[in-house]
Amino acid sequence: AVHDSAFLKERQAHSQKLNEMQLEVDALAAAWSYDSRYKRTSHAAHQLSAAVFSLEETLAGRSNIPLKEQCNVLASVAARLDDPLLDETCKRLNEITLDAPTLTQLQARFKVAARAGRVGALVPENSGLWGYALASVASTLSFAGEALPANGARSEAAAVLSRAERRLDEGALAEAVAEVRTLRGPPRALCAGWLEAAEQRLLMEQVLTTAKAEASLAVSAMS
């Protein structure tokens, strides 16, 4: 009986020691897993900061890296961070079909588009190419100071283009785009290319704003 009792105590002590060792192993595994996950997240957070900076440089016209390439990098980093907001934002990058122009480029392009739009506003309905030719002559006379017959739609289109140009010169791209979106008929068609490029630029600015905020939060969480 004494022998059995001693054997039982030994088994219990051995079992307790095994349990303690298992707890230590589990703790080490959890610490290793946390450390590994922390390092991966930290690396991704810093990659996100770098991707955001690179994208900002491209939008400012200071980098020649293709925009689509940068969008792919940003989306890849977002996926590794498992950030729902950033991931959803990056899905909008699929809408990007052009290299977003700089604000300076958009300002220069709008000068041409607005001039064409003003000509388009003078085109009589269903007049074809001949109408555009007449409108071009009429527009030249108008710019030279000659009075032209008033027309509500033509005057409104000219006013919209002037307001949009002022907003753009002030750097208010969103407001300029909002003005151009109100155009109809030939003026709208003639400004369509500029409008598409401007909307792509606005989309990239929205993505960049969200990505910068998320990058800041991700890096802060690591410290």
- Per residue in 145-175, pLDDT (tens digit) is 344 444 555 678 889 999 999 999 999 999 9
Angle (CA) 49-177-59 rounded to 5° is: 25
Which regions in the chain score pLDDT beneath 50?
A: 34-35, 127, 129-150
**Residue 99 falls in which region: left (phi positive, over 0), alpha (psi -120 to 50) or beta:** beta
For residue 171, the model assigns a pLDDT of: 93
CA atoms within 13 A on the CB side of 109: 18
Alpha helices in 60-102 (DSSP H): 67-81, 84-91
Q: Looking at the whole model, is its pTM more than 0.85?
A: no
CA trace torsion 131, 136, 142, 144 (10° rounding): -150
- Going by C-alpha positions, the residue among 45, 48, 102 that lies closest to residue 70 is 48
For residue 154, the model assigns a pLDDT of: 64
Interatomic CA distance for residues 63 and 42, integer angstroms: 26
For residue 143, the model assigns a pLDDT of: 41
User: Which pair of tokens denotes residue 51?
Assistant: 């991707």
E strand or H helix at 211: helix 192-222
Q: How many other CB atoms are there within 10 angstroms of residue 110's CB atom?
A: 25
For residue 95, the model assigns a pLDDT of: 72
Inter-axis angle of helices 152-169 and 103-121, to 10 degrees?
Answer: 170
Contact in structure between 148 and 142 (CB atoms under 8 Å): yes
